[in-house]
Structure 1
Amino acid sequence: MGEALRRREDRRLVTGQGRYVDDLTPEGCLHLEFVRSQFAHGEIVELDLEEARALDGVVAVFTAADLAGLGAAAINLLIPDVRPQPMHVLAAERVEAVGQPVAAIVATSRAIARDAAQLAGLDIEPLSVASGEDRPEVLTPEVLSHDWRSGDADAAFAAADHVVGVTVEHSLLAPMALEPRAALADWREGRLTAWLSTQTPHRARDDLARMLALPLAQVRVIAPDVGGAFGGKASIYPEDVMVAFAARRLGAPVKWCATRSDDLLAATHGRGATTSGELAVAADGTVLGLRAKLAFQLGSWMPFSAVIPARNAGRILPGPYRVEDIDIGAKGYFANRAAVGIYRGAGRPEATMLMERLMDEAARVLSLDPLEFRRRNLIAADAFPYATPTGETLDSGNYQALVDMARHHAGYDALRARQAELRRDGKIFGIGVSLYIEPCGQGWESATASLCRDGTIIAATGSSAQGQGRETAFSQIVADLMRVSPERVTVRHGDTGESPTGIGALASRSTAIGGGAMVRACEGLLEQIRRAGAELLQCGEDEIVPGDAGVSVASDQGRMATWEALAGHLLGPETGDPKEAALCSSVVFHADGEAWASGCCIASVIIDEDTGTPTIDEVVWVDDAGVVLNPMLVRGQLVGGMAQGLGEALMERIVYDEDGQMLTGSLMDYAVPRAADIPPVRIEKIETPSPTNPLGAKGVGEAGCIGIPAAIVNAVGDALSPFGVRGLQMPLTSERIWRAMHDAAGRRSNVDQ
């Protein structure tokens, strides 16, 4: 542990040996496609499927009437005042979003199924469209509400020398995994097996069993290689359930794979919040109080984690700062749009962006350096564990050290001097700062560690993988504790038939909690190995020393048994199964609390005066992920998150028109970062171990989406401050920046006249 081992998964994946759902086509496989609504909201007047049924090759056509009695998907109601919006596998009498499935067509080929879907006659009478916006003139149902209050915010604002406020608009974003969603299901001998591109296979199994009224033992979900997820594959979808239902009904394998446009239209989106806040500040630069209103679009149905972004945004505020008097309210609104769920960060970016914009605005009003103003208000390093005003407990951290290290590596004072020089030369140059804290999952995870007949070790985890290097990281944990080479370790995950029940991979929890479970499983296996080794080698249990070759006696290294010999001694005669378990240790690990990562980002931006194009000059980033398991994997996660954070800040935006029609339904219209867009970044770290898990680890996968956008937005705001431009909203495209500069120039010209 701690070494930058190369990813063991990569050779297979980069040489085309990966196996994704779309690569799996069993013999006799049928293909499913959907008839989807072309309206955002309306009554179904007619659904004529006769031509579709008559097409040669069509095997079955399903409507909502065929699904009567289907159970409901789970929704995680983590806050009390929620009005759940259930998922409908197929719309019955009314449609509530463009792209909502209305009918499913199963055929002998994908092409035939698509052709048949085009033949469907669907007549919908349009109804008024709810946009999900928190505006009095828009009639949008409120489906979520929660408040966090502590101290006396009114008194804090009354005592303030300055009050500053900002509003932040977060565009809806597409998680944009490299692999679109896909599902394959087969019903055989009274058992359902479903291959899903999912990051939560056990959750998917539970949902399928409940919705199809099957015992858990009759449902197996397998997540083979998954090409990215980012929260967009954390919940069951209507398409997944429909494929499983059709496979059971038809007694044949059935497969569906989304196109990119399918995913843009009907997969879950992320962000989409409008947040506003006020900060009460004393003349000496002390923050006295915070008020915030957080309004979230929730789409037309709720996936499992629909309430998480609002809950996270509220409970994270006021971030890494000492602010005792707060009044924070979060609301969620129904919209005739695709469902909105968790997307890399899930509420953390919204909280950080609001707080960091407020801190910059307060520093401007106080004429203080933004970094120094933040430093004055940080939670002290000796205050941990720290009880926040929203009722959370920050486990560990050293926010001052983050700021000091970032300042040093950015050459902050020299950077400010360079800014002044560039501005004298007419250049548009800005520096942005952001600090963030990141809750990294809580609760439990499972793991099993087994010694096999062939002397290898199988490590099975309830966590799953979508490209993070999970097999590499978990093999490092096992190898370190068992004192064997990582090559001796096989990591199993993603298959509910072979891995213990678990939560899956989300919320930056897998290393801290999933890895913690693996530590405990290995500790249990070592106890069994010492007992068995002592019996075989005729010594005390405390004398048994494990090593890559096997176990030996500490006082007599010549007395040893290979792993194969130890396993054979326990199992007896050969059975022909080299992976037969001789010893096995299974645990369910419950974390002692939530680990909180943190970081500080400093970004510098140059803006082209003629075009408004922003170029990120450099990013300096100090992250505290607790004890780092593999520095190379950590850097990969940070840079990957940075790319998506940059996307939100500068280019990504799902757009609907007033009728609920999507205007960004392909990659011709929805912009995502390319390799050339990724700026130079210097990443440094500090380590404040978390006391909540045996590794001392914290999460890292979402940090780039949390800290980077706020630093970029603040840098652009700093660059445009000489123009009098404030409150520019994301995405900060060249057009938006150019228009803001020229509008400001026009205003100045009118004043001069």
Structure 2
Amino acid sequence: MDYRDRYVDGMGKYIDDITLDGMLYMSVFRSPYGKARIKNVKGGLNGSELKLFYKSSMGEMASLGGDSNSVYLEPVFAIDEVNYEGQAIAAVFGKTRYESEDLLSTVSVDYEPMKAVSSIDESMKASPIHSGTKDNVLAKADLGEDFDENDVDFDLTLEDTFYNERIIANSMETRGCIADYRDSKLTFYASTQSVQSVKAGLVQALNLEPENVRVIQADTGGAFGVKGSFYPEYVMAAYASMKYGKPVKWIETRSEHLQAAYPGRGARAKIKIYARNDGRITGIKGDIYVDAGAYDAGTGSFASRFIAYQITGPYHIEKAYMRAYSMLTNKAPMGPYRGAGRPEAAFFMERMMDLLADRLQMDISEVRLVNASTEPFTSPTGLTVKEATRPFLEKALKEVDYNRISREEKTGIAFFVLIPASRPGESARIDVSEGKIMVQLGGNVHGQGHELFVKNILENDLQVEQDLISLENGDTSEMENGVGSWGSRTAIAGASALMAAAKKIRGQVIQKFGKYSPEKLLSGNYSAYEFLKIDYDVNSVNFNMITAERMNNGLVAMKDWYCYYDLGHVLSPVNVVAQITGGALEGVGQMFSESLKYSPDGQLMTTSISSAGILESEYAPRCHIKWVENGSPAPNQAKGLGEAPTIGTPAALARAVELITRNRVVNTPISLEDIVNL
């Protein structure tokens, strides 16, 4: 089935389309409190029986967060106390979804409400939310070397504080799974970005043998990071299937998604720069804080360090010292949302660039040019930029006609580094049978259109017609290893692995026939698997420009969106345009409307998808898309793309908005009062 039939016309087979004989439906009883002591639980499957703790599996990203203290791990069901609204306390099981929802009324919980910690500021001052700990710091790190002002050549200093509110992904399809345990083997169907990480989580949480666990990806209706994590509901469903001897299905409701899926952003920064009168920044110091939520899951312990690591972006700043803190609050654990730390770092740095330009009465492009590099460099925090960034910026400004447009329009720009999660590499498998070619990638497709580049690559490498090629969903029984699809990595790592697997296929045909031809390939049965190791960075520099205008109703709207991206080698131009357009809209959403809001007592105030601030299609930007192809070290020479629009859009749009409103923009989303107030 063509990918357009599956995803655009809705003909695919999603989790909720799968029905197994005798299946039970799971509903989850969740805490209405942000913080409460549990005095007693009656009814359902609950923590009195299932006292399991788990750690979210996020592959490479989680490993960068450091070691986890077990006290911070989330229990599958709350034990003794709840630490965020929506935390699971019990699960019930019915023969139909309606019956399982009705059975929620059979669960009763005796609570003792407690004071919740609802913000980063409060977290720093409040008593620890977890007993036996000394504070609410989940993780902390210092990056770069501290420096004294006497060691810096500067004429002025500037300081500012920024905040990006939490955002939840809200993909069209919510989370879901089916667990089917029979004959001592667990088959698990998931809507996921990585069948491998789900399998690893189930094996670890339930102490199962890896050979007895099979995870199959159903068609997945969007993810944007939220389906890359491993969740407690997966363990509940698997355990219940083992306990009751029946398949168990769980489909998340939209209200559950807002409460308990792992949101991204939620980052605050206090930045100080040291600069000369010619615009050169000679030093930067700052504190990065993220709202990690109540437990060490998703990306909470990693995110603050990752933001601090890339704070200097494409600018060669000789001295930098950043302190990074992941703070515990009584909210759902933090997870990745498209960009996962990259947009935050770019927003903080680019907003300081604009502030410096205003103070020195320089053009915003000129202050960036002054600080861009004329040769490759490594920042004091360890970020490697393997190319000169000033020539790229000069070219980008010309390509988008900045000098002319900025004279005529309210214009903002953003210059940034995209760091793809290319390490440690990725896997690919090709199977040829009955004249058809079936492909699997270790990074699972969830609407990005990976099918397009897969067909382009194999049409070129194997000289076969594209309609003979299909990209299959992930299945751990057929893939020896794999990582996942996130962090702008699949075109780099997955496509390179696919090329290596195709080379093996050609070699098998040559070994059998003495030479290769597509006819010989399609006449037989061949199979090849490849895990391509990548142990190097594939960072790229990119540029956005945005114009905005005030509408007749007094609100501000984006007028035109421009980009000039370095994509290495483009595998599918159609893919590129689609990824950029969708990502731009998500960046606009962060700037204008999207967020999760909480009351001081930890209650979620964003109670429906309509109040989550998701933009409608009429807000889709008028995109002017340009790119350059400077090949990367990867075998296919590709660079990252998927997250680039969400990195550059908020910072560039913030500048355009503040030129109209004459109010400094330091937070996302920008408040309605700031937009309409002149």
The normalised TM-score by structure 2 is 0.94
Q: 1:555 — aligned with what?
A: none
Are 2:637 and 1:699 equivalent residues in the alignment? Answer: no
- The residue identity in structure 2 corresponding to 1:404 is E
Establish whether residue 216 from structure 1 lines up as the match of residue 210 from structure 2: yes
Residue pairs, 1:356-371, within 5 angstroms = 356-371=350-365
- Give the distance between the partners of 1:445 and 1:283, measured in 2 at CA: 45
Q: Which residue pairs with 2:408 in the alignment?
A: 418
For 2:105 and 2:52, the matched residues in 1 are separated by 28
- Structure 1 611/166 Cα, relative in aligned 2: closer, same or farther at 3 Å? farther
Aligned residues of 2:428 and 2:530 also touching (Cα < 8 A): yes
* Structure having the higher Rg: 1
Over 3 Å counting, the alpha-carbon distance change for 1:73 and 1:169 in structure 2 is: closer
Structure 1 window deviating more from structure 2 (195-204 vs 522-531): it is 522-531
Are the aligned partners of 1:449 and 1:457 in contact in 2 as well (CA < 8 Å)? no
Secondary structure, in 3 states, of the residue corresponding to 2:610? coil
Structure 2 residue aligned with 1:628, among 562, 566, 570?
570
User: Helix, strand or coil: the match of 2:283?
Assistant: strand
Mean CA deviation greater in 694-703 or 481-490 = 481-490
1:679 and 1:453 map into 2 onto residues whose CA distance is 44
Task: Call closer, same or farther: CA 1:720–1:82 in 2, change over 3 Å.
Answer: farther
Which whole-Å CA distance do the structure 1 matches of 2:287 and 2:34 have between them?
Answer: 28
Which SS does the other structure have where 1:276 is aligned? strand
Q: Deviations over 1:100-137 (max 9, x none)?
A: 11111011111111112124222210112122413554
- Out of 101, 116, 120, the position equivalent to 2:88 is 101
CA deviation profile, 1:552-607 (whole Å, cap 9, x unmatched)? xxxxxxxxxx3344x2xxxxxxxxxxxxxx33332221114121132111111112
CA contact (8 A) 1:163 1:280 kept: yes
Deviation track 1:426-469 (CA, whole Å, cap 9, x = no partner) reads xxxx2111111111113234435445342333333211110011
1:132 touches 1:299 (CA, 8 Å); kept in 2? no
The within-5 A match list for 1:303-452 is 303-380=297-374, 383-384=375-376, 386-396=377-387, 399-419=389-409, 430-450=410-430, 452=432
Gap change, CA 1:500 and 1:10, over 3 Å in 2:
farther
Tell me what 1:199 maps to. Answer: 193
* Greater CA drift, 662-671 or 583-592: 583-592
CA contact (8 A) 1:43 1:124 kept: yes
Matching residue's letter, 1:68: K
Q: C-alpha offsets along residues 167-219 of structure 1, whole Å, 9 cap, x if unaligned? A: 11111111111110111111122211111111111110111112111111111
**Structure 2 unaligned residues grouped into runs of 5+:** 129-135
Q: Does the C-alpha gap of structure 1 residues 81 and 683 become closer, same or farther in structure 2, counting only changes over 3 Å?
A: same
Distance in 2 separating the partners of 1:713 and 1:13: 33
User: Is the 2:158–2:356 Cα contact (8 Å) retained in structure 1?
Assistant: yes
Matched to 1:633, the amino acid is N
Q: Could you tell me whether the CA contact under 8 Å between 1:184 and 1:253 is conserved in 2?
A: yes
CA contact (8 A) 1:614 1:734 kept: no
2:302 and 2:326 map into 1 onto residues whose CA distance is 11
Give 1:640 deviation, angstroms: 1.0
Identify the residue that residue 20 of structure 2 maps to in structure 1: 26
Report how far residue 409 of structure 1 moved: 4.2
State the Cα deviation string for residues 43-90 of structure 1 (Å, max 9, x = none): 1123233xxxxxxxxxxx311122136665557242447646212111
1:516-527 alignment to 2 at 5 Å?
Answer: 516-527=496-507
Identity across matched positions, percent = 28
> Which amino acid is the alignment partner of residue 94 of structure 1?
E
- Are 1:729 and 2:667 counterparts? yes
Aligned residue identity for 2:557: T
Q: Are 1:689 and 2:676 matched, yes or no? A: no
Supply the distance in 2 between the matched residues of 1:592 and 1:63 (Cα, whole angstroms): 43
**Distance in 1 between residues matched to 2:467 and 2:618, nearest whole Å:** 36
Q: Aligned partners of 1:443, 1:148: CA distance in 2, in Å? A: 21
Q: Does the Cα contact within 8 Å between 2:457 and 2:499 map onto a contact in 1?
A: yes
CA distance in 1, matches of 2:554, 2:316: 37
Alignment partner of 1:273 out of 263, 267, 275: 267
CA contact (8 A) 1:21 1:195 kept: yes
Which position in structure 2 is the counterpart of 1:290? 284
- Between the two proteins, the alignment pairs up a number of residues equal to 666
Q: Does 1:485 align with 2:472?
A: no
- Alpha-carbon distance, 1:545 to partner: 4.2
Say whether residues 1:667 and 2:609 are aligned partners: yes
User: Is the Cα–Cα contact under 8 Å of residues 13 and 219 in structure 2 kept in the other structure?
Assistant: yes
The partner residue of 2:447 within 456, 460, 467 is 467
Correspondent of 2:47 among 64, 83, 105: 64
Cα separation, 1, equivalents of 2:239 and 2:509? 45
Query: Would you say the 8 A contact 2:196–2:484 is kept in 1?
Result: yes
Return the letter of the residue paired with 1:210.
Answer: Q
Aligned: 1:598 with 2:541: yes
Residue matched to 1:563:
521
- Counterpart of 2:137 (choices 134, 142, 148) is 142
SS at match of 1:67: coil
CA distance in 1, matches of 2:547, 2:154: 32
Q: Residue 494 of structure 1: CA displacement? A: 1.5
Please give the alpha-carbon distance, in whole angstroms, between the structure 1 residues aligned to 2:568 and 2:669: 32
Name which of 507, 515, 526 aligns with 1:583: 526
TM-score after normalising by structure 1:
0.85
Q: Structure 1 residues 151 and 331 mapped into 2: Cα distance closer, same or farther (>3 Å)? A: closer
Partner of 1:259: 253
From the superposition, tell whether residues 525 and 125 of structure 1 become closer, same or farther in structure 2 (CA, over 3 Å).
Answer: same
Counterpart residue identity of residue 521, structure 2: W
Q: Encode CA deviations 1:650-690: one digit per residue, 9 max, x unaligned.
A: 10121110111111110232211110112211010012111
Q: CA deviation at 1:733?
A: 4.0
Aligned-partner Cα distance in 1 for 2:337–2:298 = 13
Q: Is the 8 A contact 1:447 1:459 kept in 2?
A: no
Question: Which residue of the partner structure matches residue 58 of structure 1?
Answer: none
Q: Deviations over 1:221-243 (max 9, x none)?
A: 11111011111011111111101
- When residues 460 and 729 of structure 1 are mapped into structure 2, their CA distance, relative to the original with a 3 A threshold, is closer
Structure 1 residues 564, 512: closer, same or farther in 2, change over 3 A? closer
Query: Shift of residue 368 of structure 1?
Result: 0.7
Would you say the 8 A contact 1:320–1:435 is kept in 2? yes
Within 2, Cα distance between the matches of 1:79 and 1:456? Answer: 43
Secondary structure of the structure 2 residue equivalent to 1:111: helix
Compared CA separation, residues 163 and 90, structure 1 to 2 (3 A): same
In structure 1, distance between residues paired with 2:339 and 2:321 = 23
Residue 458, structure 1, aligned to residue 453, structure 2: no
Q: Distance in 2 between matches of 1:635 and 1:695?
A: 19
Deviations 1:363-400 (A, max 9, x none): 111111001111121122xx23x32222232344x534
Where does structure 1 lack aligned partners over 5 or more consecutive residues?
1-6, 50-60, 420-429, 535-543, 551-561, 568-581, 742-753
Deviations 1:676-706 (A, max 9, x none): 1122110100121111x10111111111110
Which of the numbers 482, 486, 490 marks the counterpart of 1:506? 486
Matched, 1:164 2:122: no
Would the aligned equivalents of 1:611 and 1:735 in 2 still touch at CA under 8 Å? no
Q: Give the aligned partner of residue 716 of structure 1.
A: 657
Checking the alignment, whether the CA contact within 8 Å between 2:258 and 2:607 is kept in structure 1 is: yes
Match status 1:154 vs 2:97: no
Q: Which of the residues 523, 528, 550 maps onto 2:508? A: 528
Q: Report how far residue 308 of structure 1 moved.
A: 3.6
Residue 105 (structure 2) pairs with residue 118 (structure 1): yes
